[in-house]
Every structure is written in C-alpha cells, then in structure tokens.
C-alpha cells in the first residue's frame, strides 16, 4: 500500500486525537481529585491543539501538487503501529482502570514515543513548511515527558 503525505498527515492527526482520548480517560478516572483531573485535561487539550495545528498546515498544502509520487510507507507503518498501541492502552484503561502511577508511566511513554516519531518524519524534507511544526511538537512532547517524570515523583503513590 502506498502512503502519500496526505495519508501520513491523516495518521498524525489520528494519533494526536487518540492521545487526547487516552488523557481524557485518565481525567475521568481521577475525577475525584480535581488536581489530577485538571492535569490530564490539560494534556488532552495539548494533543487536540497538535491535531488542529496539523490540520491547519494540511489545509494550506491541499492545493499543492504531490511533487512526484512521494511515498512514506515506513513512516506510515511506524505511525500506524504507535496509533494502535495508544488505542489499545486507552481501551484497556477504560475497561480495567489504571492507577495514577500507571497512568503517568504510560503517558511518559506516549510523549517520548510521539517526540521520537515527530523527529523521524521525513516528509518535511519534501514539504519544509512542516519542519518547524514537527520540531515544535517534538519539543513540546519532550517537555511534557519531563513534566510527567516530575509528576511521577509527586503523585505516583497518591490515593484517588
């Protein structure tokens, strides 16, 4: 299956929205603790913002030619695998619940993996307009990962 830049961007948006969904599950799970619920809703909002940013760039590129037959099959495979892993984690957290320590650890993995994925996406070489966006998103993901590490120290043993 051939994957164009449009396919890669659709997958990127899906990943951001799935991550937002995971964080919303955490917010609901910890709704009895206002500080924890608010924390997770902020993370969900950041992911929705990333999705919206991709959509804005995507719409700006909509009228542009394909620039040849660029294919991004390996990137799409990696991204699809990550999307599936996040979806599975969200479904499991909805079904079985999650402790705050587990949620923080899982979110740290999500942010680290997302930053790494943004850093490897090669279509910005074809469309440099995306280079700055992806770099900023990767930096934000790394900052979120670091904040989550601090939150683990603060809340890992918290009761809900």
Read off the pLDDT of residues 48-93 as tens digits, 9 standing for 90 and up: 999 998 888 778 777 666 554 456 555 667 888 999 999 999 999 9
Count of other CB atoms within 10 angstroms of residue 129: 12
Evaluate whether 61 touches 127 at the Cβ level (below 8 Å): yes
Instruction: Give the C-alpha distances (Å, rounded to integers) separating 97 from 47, 82, 101, 138, 150.
Output: 21, 21, 12, 28, 22
Rounded to 10°, the helix 5-29/73-96 angle is: 20
pTM: 0.84
Q: Where are the domains positioned within the chain?
A: 5-62+70-155
Fold of 5-62+70-155: Ferritin (1.20.1260)
Of all residues in the chain, the percent with pLDDT exceeding 90 is: 42
pLDDT band at 1 (very low <50, low <70, confident <90, very high): very low
């Amino acid at each position: 299956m051939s994957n164009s830049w449009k396919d890669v961007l659709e997958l990127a948006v899906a990943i951001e929205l799935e991550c937002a969904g995971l964080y919303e599950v955490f917010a609901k799970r910890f709704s009895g603790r206002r500080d924890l619920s608010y924390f997770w809703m902020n993370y969900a909002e950041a992911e929705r913002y990333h999705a919206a940013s991709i959509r804005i760039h995507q719409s700006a590129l909509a009228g542009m030619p394909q620039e040849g037959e660029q294919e991004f099959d390996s990137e799409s495979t990696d991204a699809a695998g990550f999307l599936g892993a996040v979806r599975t984690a969200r479904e499991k957290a909805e079904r079985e619940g999650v402790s705050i320590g587990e949620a923080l650890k899982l979110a740290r993995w999500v942010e680290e993996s997302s930053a790494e994925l943004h850093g490897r996406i090669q279509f910005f070489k074809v469309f440099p307009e995306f280079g700055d966006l992806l770099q900023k998103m990767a930096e934000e993901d790394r900052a979120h990962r670091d904040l989550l590490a601090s939150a683990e120290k603060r809340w890992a043993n918290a009761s809900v």
